[in-house]
A and B are shown apart, each in its own frame.
Chain A
Amino acid sequence: MNKTDDTDLISRFNSGEVSAFEELVLKYQDKIYTLCRYMLRNIHDAEDAAQDVFFKAYRNLKDFKPEASFYTWLYRIGINTCHDYRRKSFSASSFLQSLSGGITSPSDQSLFDTTPERLHELKETRKSIEFALAQMPEKLRAVIVLREIEELTYEEIAEVLNSSIGTVKSRISRAREMLREILIKKI
């Protein structure tokens, strides 16, 4: 993730060039949507939450401090937004969907351009991961998604979560132990 490009886009946006924000959305939409999918499981909530992340970023971009990384700031908004969604929208439909393992939607673009065997394998893999993540405390789920799916370093995760590197390290370790137990039992 290139900090210079982001700084340039942000300064263009702050000078009134709204299209610069669309470039930021295009650059980060898959990452933020993925974060919301793994944090929330329900695909409709995930799409709404991902949109909210960009609305919040748009409204607060003028207050963004250029010495920080834009993407860690955006991920922080993402984690907080998912937290709010989980708290307020444990609706009947989310519950039913999670029971039926609603992991992939027909419109999931990442499932296009693939063979039926590969598609089935990918669906099963994601289903296993979402099953395991759904059983974890939110704090552990956040660190492991940021590490394993978003591939952030310990330092970047600490910045996103406003924690120490030691805390991040120990939470990732606990998350992996827990995932291992859940997934091995499942197999």
Chain B
Amino acid sequence: MKCRSARKMMSALIDGELRPAEKESLTRHIQDCGDCRKLHHEMLAVHDLFTAAGQHKAPQGFSKKVMAELRTERKSYSETFA
């Protein structure tokens, strides 16, 4: 495998979206090529950073606020078209 192809497939390797044969061939290339190993390592570091950042939680009372707004909207709609 050439470095150019390896570079294109590296992101899909991180996401587990490669076919087994592609994965095997890319993994072998990464083991043999210092530059691609470094790139893979850095891409994994970015991936880990996102994992560490995780999800936010919606502000307290979010669903209540949404539902209250929708109830007001429905009420004014029925009053207008009653």
Contact = CB atoms under 8 A, between A and B. Distances in A.
A43 B73 CA distance: 25
A89 to B, nearest CB: 18
B56 A169 contact: no
A149 interface: yes
Contact of B10 (A26, A107, A126, A173): A173
Contact of A22 (B45, B47, B54, B67): B67
A51 B65 contact: yes
Contacts, number: 111
Interface residues of A, number: 44
Interface in A107-133: 107-110, 121-122, 125-126, 128-129
Interface string B8-27: 10111011010000000000
A29 B43 contact: no
A128 B66 contact: no
Interface residues of B, number: 33
B46 A37 contact: no
A125 B46 contact: no
Contacts of B14: 176
Contacts of B10: 173, 176
B59 A129 contact: no
Nearest to A51: B66
B53 A183 contact: no
A184 B11 contact: no
A160 interface: no
Given A50-B62, A51-B65, A125 B53 contact: yes
Interface in A90-113: 105, 107-110
A55 B69 contact: yes
A32 B51 CA distance: 17
Interface string A139-172: 0000000011100011000000000000001101
Contacts of B1: none
Interface of B: 8, 10-12, 14-15, 17, 39, 42-43, 45-47, 49-60, 62-63, 65-67, 69-70, 73
Closest 10 A/B residue pairs (Cβ) = A109-B57, A148-B50, A173-B11, A29-B58, A33-B58, A110-B57, A25-B63, A34-B55, A34-B56, A176-B11
